[in-house]
Amino acid sequence: MFTTWKALIRKDLRLFFSNRRALLMSVAAPIAIASFFGYALGGSGNAEHSKIPVLVADQDNSAISKEIVAMLAASKELDVKPSTLDAARAAVRKGKAIVAIGIPEGFGADASKAFFGGAKPKMEVLYDPSHSAEQAMVAGILTGEVMQAVSKETFSGPTGRKMVDDSLKRLEGDSSLPPAQKQALIGLLRSVRSWNDQNPGDSGQNSTGGLTMPYEMHAKAITSGSGVRYNGYAHAFGGMGIQFILFVGIDIGIGVLLLRQRGLWKRYRAAPLSRATLLGSRATSAAITSMFVLMVLFGFARLVFGVRIEGSMAGFLCICAAFSLMTAAFGLLIAALGKTPEATRGLAIFVTLIMVMLGGAWVPAFIFPQWLQSATLLVPTRWAMDGLDAMTWRGLGFSAAIGPIAVLTFCALLFGVIAVARFRWEES
Amino acid sequence: MLEAKALKKAFGSVKAVDGVSLRAARGETVGLLGPNGAGKTTTVSIVAGLLRPDSGEVLIEGRPLGGDTDPLKRQIGLVPQDVALYDELSAMQNLALFGALYGLGGARLKRATAEALDLAGLADRAKDKVAIFSGGMKRRLNIVAAMLHDPAIILLDEPTVGVDPQSRNAIFENLEIFKKRGKTLIYTTHYMEEAERVCDRLIIIDHGKVVADDTLRGLYRLVPATNLLNVELDRDIDGAALEDLRHLPEVKSAKMGGGVLKVGVPDLSAGAPRILAWLAEGGHSFHHISSERADLETVFLTLTGRKLRD
């Protein structure tokens, strides 16, 4: 029996390795795509982030508006270019700019007054609706810069001095306010004037004035350890590995259907072989092939892109083995449920791509809506993906691998049982 | 050696095999003859253990053939109708795999593989991929692949489909060798000439039922006239004279068409002189005469009322 088992596995591996085109597709294609995705997702952590292109139409040309434009231009996240409002609108419509900011005439003066209850001026922010995330980011930066520029000018610049003097005169002649409130506001404005008198001619020259954020943010990427950078290639190679190994699973299933079509299945069935030998040997060779592809992919990622197994190596290998087994069972399931190779291939590819997408192999699952994130826990590829992430760049221990290993092994058993139950042993 | 008893197999409402029984002794070649869809392949599939019959049983050496792993299956070698080989593998790799299916390994497998390649005339092409073989070479390899484990019974399901005459002869030579080695051959075909050439006994199947089971000679006895005398006349014989001819005791049938008189006679040595004398007496001159034997097509037509290739 072992001779037969060995011969069947040897034959499958021989067929796999003799088909150079298929081998190339199983190994080179995922390497190429994963390299691209890895680079796009931040690479090894050394790549510069691209800046968001922003057009600014300053129709005010006040000290405040100039200060806002200067602050935006100094931002590391933005690539600011001056424009007119019409040109900026046209550029956003054509997709040539993501966000455009229109600062209307009189914005500086109106914004200063608005500090003390005047009408609020409107700043126009135009954006490409396909880039709402970038728009939100620009809006956040803009809010901070406007607050700082306006408050600085209000409390220390010429505009602010004039505004304080005017407000004092108006208050002193105002009889509508209760005396206590009137005295408090007059006191506040006199204090501001006194401050201004002690710090003359500071407007626009010193960027440290005005209201600033009352805290500093210290962002820190949490990876497997201090000094270890996030490596986008780790996720990309895991994702593409999963996708292309599932394609190997499809080939395994289609291969069985082709055996039937070519009459080879009759030779197998005519021999005194158990069903366990026939399907088991097929599953074993499929698992070996899948494991081989995963090892080649991660070996390449290690050598070329420095992807390391920062977590448990045993956990990583067990997840790879469990996923390979699941792929083998998935292949048998295709063989059991499929009718003809032609009809089955398209459907199997569709199902695989859905599984891969929901598993977070293309884009991380956290960008999905919450309900979808919960739903994807039913998809085995999600567990494989999370497990590989955990063992590679997250650097978690073996305990984090137990869940994925258990789920993938369970899926392998489930697929295997259904495949054996539904397998057509007789041909009509 | 091999016996199938009252095999029945239906696929849905279609009765593919409906009570087929057959026997084949050691060294005997039994042909299963019938048109496409008659039930030949289904019968072979049941005998090979590929299909479980709805009823009936297959006995090998008196023992019923059991499930998937029954060692009795080692007594059977199956040559499928399709060329069941891996194009991507070499001839030797194919044979090594099929030998391993029956547990052959090591020196025994090497010996069996070499012998099979020799038998197929492919020893010098052993390491070539099957993909580059001609149709005939593939067919020959397809046959010897069933012989590696030295089975006593070989089931050949239409082994010459799509084969050129030269390769067909090579296949027949192989079959002769198998017969000399005492193998029992079950040979399905819808080619009458092959059945006549290869088989000791013929089982004619139609619509899943056995309509005749006999030797070639025995089957010919089933038709009214085993010989046909063709006489090319200078002018046609009229209907009245033809009716007169049909009344001769040596004549079974007579018809005129295209200047040729076709007369069916059970015994050529008695019938031919009598017919020629009748023609001379009637003043019917002829310029060519020939005879032909009734063939299996005639037998099939007689038994089923339709042609074999319908």
ipTM: 0.81
Q: Does A14 touch chain B (CB under 8 A)?
A: yes
Task: Find chain A residues with C-beta within 8 A of B186's C-beta.
Answer: none
pLDDT, mean of residues B54-63: 92
From B51's Cα to the closest Cα of chain A, the distance in A is 6
Predicted pLDDT at B46: 93
Task: Find chain B residues with C-beta within 8 A of A269's C-beta.
Answer: 48-50, 68
Predicted pLDDT at A210: 61
- Substitution target in A261, A264, A281 with the highest count of B β-carbons within 10 Å is A264
Tell me which of A99-103, A256-260, B23-27, B160-164 is least confident. B160-164
- How would residue A118 be classed by pLDDT, with cut points 50, 70 and 90? low
pLDDT, mean of residues B221-250: 85
Predicted pLDDT at A207: 46
Q: Which CATH superfamily is B2-84+145-220 part of?
A: P-loop containing nucleotide triphosphate hydrolases (3.40.50.300)
**Between chains, do B98 and A427 touch, taking CB under 8 Å as contact?**
no
Residue A190 in this model has a pLDDT that exceeds 70: yes
From B218's Cα to the closest Cα of chain A, the distance in A is 33
The three-class DSSP label of residue A416 is: helix
**Between chains, do A11 and B74 touch, taking CB under 8 Å as contact?**
no
Residue A204 in this model has a pLDDT that exceeds 60: no
Task: Find chain A residues with C-beta within 8 A of B82's C-beta.
Answer: 262-263, 266
Provide the residue ranges of all domains of chain B, joining segments of one domain with +. 2-84+145-220, 227-293
Provide the residue ranges of all domains of chain A, joining segments of one domain with +. 7-44+229-422, 52-157
**Out of B70, B93, B100, whose CB is closest to A4?**
B100
Tell me which of A191-200, B119-128, B290-299 is least confident. A191-200
Predicted pLDDT at B12: 86
Q: How many percent of chain A have pLDDT more than 90?
A: 25
- Substitution target in B45, B97, B138 with the highest count of A β-carbons within 10 Å is B97
Residue A334 in this model has a pLDDT that exceeds 80: yes
**Out of B45, B89, B103, whose CB is closest to A14?**
B89
Strand partners, A125: A101
More confident residue, B222 or B142: B142
Q: Does B97 touch chain A (CB under 8 A)?
A: yes
- How would residue A205 be classed by pLDDT, with cut points 50, 70 and 90? very low
More confident residue, B98 or A424: B98
Residue A291 in this model has a pLDDT that exceeds 80: yes
Tell me which of A269-273, B142-146, B223-227, B255-259 is least confident. B223-227
Distance of alpha carbon A74 from alpha carbon A231, whole angstroms: 28
Residue B93 in this model has a pLDDT that exceeds 90: yes
Cβ within 8 Å of B, A 264-293: 264, 266-275
More confident residue, A342 or A402: A402
Predicted pLDDT at A7: 87
Q: Does B70 touch chain A (CB under 8 A)?
A: yes
Task: Find chain A residues with C-beta within 8 A of B73's C-beta.
Answer: 270-272
pLDDT, mean of residues A335-347: 86
pLDDT, mean of residues A18-28: 79
Counting beta carbons within 10 angstroms of the beta carbon of residue B129, is it exposed (0 to 12), middle (13 to 18) or buried (19 or more)? middle
The strands making up A52-58's β-sheet, listed across from edge to edge, are: A78-82, A52-58, A99-103, A124-127
Q: Which CATH architecture has domain A52-157?
A: 3-Layer(aba) Sandwich (3.40)
Interstrand relation of B14-24 and B2-11 (parallel, antiparallel or unpaired): antiparallel
Task: Find chain A residues with C-beta within 8 A of B41's C-beta.
Answer: none
From B70's Cα to the closest Cα of chain A, the distance in A is 6
To 10 degrees, the CA torsion angle through A144, A149, A150, A154? 140
Task: Find chain A residues with C-beta within 8 A of B146's C-beta.
Answer: 267
pLDDT, mean of residues A213-231: 64
Residue B131 in this model has a pLDDT that exceeds 60: yes
Q: Which candidate, B75, B37, B122, B51, places its Cα nearest to that of B306?
A: B37
More confident residue, A420 or A119: A420
CATH 3.50.50.60 for domain B227-293, yes or no, is no
Both structure tokens of B266? 């059970």
